[in-house]
């Protein structure tokens, strides 16, 4: 390897010939072929690697899966060498070649000697920066994990509260309804009623059930008519029986047939039994609906968090968006209309589903914050030029040009202290980048749109 091999690389554009010669004397040219592993994550970073030509993927294990973090594909990009300023430094990723090429490999000890001899202050600065960055990254990751867990727990608890409370109330009421049913049966037996009469009674009961939606005025009028009929026929507790019977569809004509079948002397226990029965049936339906809602929420939470799935998997993007909306439903005000437009032709894509769901959470929360309680939240998925496009649009106050320019900058936020999810657009962009996609902001008349493009097919050369 000659001096001219390094002079043409931007990394060394301001480096003097004597320093370049020191690097050449200390270093070694390493050639690689597709599939070669140049360095491995977590191993001691004993060498500084500088790309001369070719391309290398940087991959890292997450659990049992392998995630592509980025690539060294431009001459002058470097990795490793951390032991020159950190005795515990290790490679942060595995470097795996995707093409043929060459690298300059310099021992960390030689790099340390060069820094100490030529720029000792710079060495002290980089040691401090490295130590601080490592500590801050650990703290930030821990905080992000806690915030994400807290957000998930709060959302799930809020959504579970209503159906759980409804199921509890219905179960409590069921006890009273069954006590009333048993009491009415004892009174019927003492009346007594014949088998034929009870059969006709049960047939009339079977006619009652859930009714189509009707106006409150019509329902109130029918309840008043049934109450007057019960009073006129000497039936007690009409204020209790009339609402239950009328809600199940009983009217004056139905009551007349009941009187004809049983006679007035048996109406009281008979109607009490019917009212208790239809009430119990209605309460059982309420329990069924409440527990179904709880089951749906648990399924949405499982889909949102991807608890039972591999990291990299074939993912339905629309399903992830819907599970995110379900988990964030408590944050959607009554004044915000949610408009969904999912193209059924959108294919599943290979992705880290849990990470994408975090992106959807951030974009949806930002849109809700922008609308301040009223507007339209639009969630769209479609297939366009071989990409899966996801759009989160809001009709909020919009975005200033300054905010748009800096929206994806690290640590940039427009929220106050303690607000937001803790997952900024910068991290959302990194997640999208790891999926070989792109994210951008489009300002349209009356709408701000965050658009995410993800490749429908796995890019050539990408590996698990």
3-state secondary structure of 251: coil
Roughly how many angstroms between the first and final C-alpha of the chain, as a whole number?
34
Range 286-313 average pLDDT: 71
Looking at the structure of the chain, the number of domains it has is 3
| CB neighbours of residue 118 within 10 Å | 13
Range 100-107 average pLDDT: 91
CATH code where residue 26 lies:
2.60.120.10
Copy the structure tokens of residue 52.
């001369």
140 inside domain: no
282 inside domain: yes
Q: 3 versus 141: which is more confidently predicted?
A: 3
**Which spans in 234-340 are helix H?**
238-247, 252-262, 267-305, 317-327
Range of the domain at 171: 159-296
Domain final residue pick, 234, 264, 296:
296
Same domain, yes or no, for 291 and 330? no
Residue 388 phi/psi, 5-degree rounding, is -90, 120
Per-residue pLDDT at 462: 44
Distance CA 342, CA 382 (A): 7
Distance CA 137, CA 357 (A): 22
Same domain, yes or no, for 175 and 102? no
Same domain, yes or no, for 319 and 291? no
Note the pLDDT tens digit of each residue in 159-187: 778 788 888 888 888 888 888 888 888 88
Per-residue pLDDT at 419: 47
CATH code where residue 360 lies:
3.30.565.10
Q: 267 versus 61: which is more confidently predicted?
A: 267
Domain final residue pick, 102, 118, 134:
118
Same domain, yes or no, for 188 and 94? no
136 inside domain: no
133 inside domain: no
> Sign of the CA dihedral 243, 248, 251, 256?
negative
Whether the per-residue pLDDT at 51 is higher than 60: the answer is yes
143 inside domain: no
What percent of the chain lies above the pLDDT cut of 90?
A: 18
Phi-psi region of 54 (alpha: psi -120 to 50; beta: other; left: phi over 0): left
Of the candidates 391, 374, 324, 398, the one whose C-alpha atom is nearest the C-alpha of residue 354 is 324
Same domain, yes or no, for 448 and 338? yes
Cα separations in angstroms, 304 against 122, 126, 275? 46, 40, 43
Same domain, yes or no, for 105 and 167? no
Distance CA 81, CA 47 (A): 5
Residue 141 phi/psi, 5-degree rounding, is -65, -40
Range 84-104 average pLDDT: 86
| CB neighbours of residue 229 within 10 Å | 22
Per-residue pLDDT at 452: 94
Whether the per-residue pLDDT at 268 is higher than 80: the answer is yes
Q: Which pLDDT band, with edges at 50, 70 and 90, does 64 fall under?
A: low
Length of the chain as a residue count: 464
At residue 302's C-alpha, the angle toward residues 166 and 138, to 5°, is 120
Q: Which pLDDT band, with edges at 50, 70 and 90, does 321 fall under?
A: very high
Distance CA 374, CA 397 (A): 11
Note the pLDDT tens digit of each residue in 18-47: 778 888 888 889 999 999 999 998 888 889
Range 292-301 average pLDDT: 75
Per-residue pLDDT at 131: 60
Same domain, yes or no, for 94 and 212? no
Same domain, yes or no, for 50 and 83? yes
134 inside domain: no
> Sign of the CA dihedral 180, 186, 188, 194?
positive
Of the candidates 436, 364, 429, 354, the one whose C-alpha atom is nearest the C-alpha of residue 394 is 364
Same domain, yes or no, for 447 and 318? yes
Q: 310 versus 201: which is more confidently predicted?
A: 201
Distance CA 53, CA 56 (A): 10
Copy the structure tokens of residue 309.
């799935």
Same domain, yes or no, for 278 and 332? no
Whether the per-residue pLDDT at 421 is higher than 50: the answer is no
Distance CA 175, CA 378 (A): 45
Same domain, yes or no, for 236 and 200? yes
135 inside domain: no
Of the candidates 49, 52, 121, 137, the one whose C-alpha atom is nearest the C-alpha of residue 85 is 121
Same domain, yes or no, for 351 and 238? no
Note the pLDDT tens digit of each residue in 143-157: 665 666 666 677 677
Domain final residue pick, 269, 296, 323:
296
Distance CA 156, CA 48 (A): 47
Among 224-228, 293-297, 392-396, the range scoring the smallest mean pLDDT is: 293-297
66 inside domain: yes
Note the pLDDT tens digit of each residue in 324-361: 888 788 788 889 999 999 999 999 998 888 788 888 98
């Amino acid at each position: 390897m000659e001096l001219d091999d390094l002079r043409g690389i931007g990394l060394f554009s301001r480096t003097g010939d004597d320093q370049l010669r020191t690097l050449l004397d200390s270093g070694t040219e390493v050639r690689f072929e597709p599939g070669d592993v140049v360095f491995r994550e977590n191993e001691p970073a004993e060498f500084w690697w500088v790309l001369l030509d070719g391309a290398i993927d940087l991959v890292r294990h997450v659990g049992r899966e392998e995630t592509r973090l980025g690539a060294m594909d431009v001459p002058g990009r470097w990795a490793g060498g951390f032991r020159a300023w950190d005795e515990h430094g290790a490679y942060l990723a595995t470097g795996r070649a995707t093409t043929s090429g060459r690298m300059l490999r310099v021992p960390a000890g030689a790099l340390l000697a060069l820094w100490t001899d030529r720029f000792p202050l710079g060495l002290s600065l980089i040691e401090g920066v490295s130590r601080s960055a490592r500590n801050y990254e650990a703290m930030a990751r821990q905080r992000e994990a806690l915030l994400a867990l807290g957000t998930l727990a709060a959302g799930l608890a809020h959504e579970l509260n209503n159906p759980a409370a409804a199921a509890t109330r219905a179960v409590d009421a069921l006890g009273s309804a069954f006590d009333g049913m048993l009491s009415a049966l004892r009174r019927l037996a003492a009346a007594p009623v014949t088998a034929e009469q009870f059969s006709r009674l049960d047939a009339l009961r079977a006619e009652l059930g859930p009714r189509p939606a009707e106006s409150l005025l019509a329902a109130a009028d029918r309840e008043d008519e049934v109450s007057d009929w019960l009073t006129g026929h000497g039936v007690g507790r009409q204020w209790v029986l009339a609402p239950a019977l009328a809600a199940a569809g009983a009217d004056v004509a139905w009551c007349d047939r009941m009187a004809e079948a049983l006679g007035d002397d048996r109406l009281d226990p008979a109607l009490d039994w019917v009212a208790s029965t239809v009430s119990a049936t209605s309460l059982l339906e309420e329990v069924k609906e409440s527990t179904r809602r709880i089951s749906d929420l648990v399924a949405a939470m499982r889909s949102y968090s991807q608890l039972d799935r591999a990291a990299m998997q074939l993912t339905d993007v629309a399903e992830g968006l819907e599970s995110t909306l379900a988990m964030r439903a408590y944050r959607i005000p009554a004044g915000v209309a949610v408009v969904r437009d999912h193209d059924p032709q959108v294919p599943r894509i290979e992705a880290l589903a849990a990470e994408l769901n975090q992106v959807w959470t951030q974009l949806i929360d930002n849109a809700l914050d922008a609308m301040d309680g009223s507007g339209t939240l639009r969630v769209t998925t479609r297939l366009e030029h071989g990409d899966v496009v996801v759009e989160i649009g809001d009709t909020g106050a919009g975005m200033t040009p300054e905010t748009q320019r800096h929206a994806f900058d690290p640590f940039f936020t427009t929220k106050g202290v303690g607000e937001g999810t803790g997952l900024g657009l910068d991290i959302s962009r990194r997640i999208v980048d790891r999926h070989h996609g792109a994210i951008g902001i489009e300002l349209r008349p009356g709408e701000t749109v965050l658009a995410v493009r993800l490749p429908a097919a796995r890019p050539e050369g990408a590996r698990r």
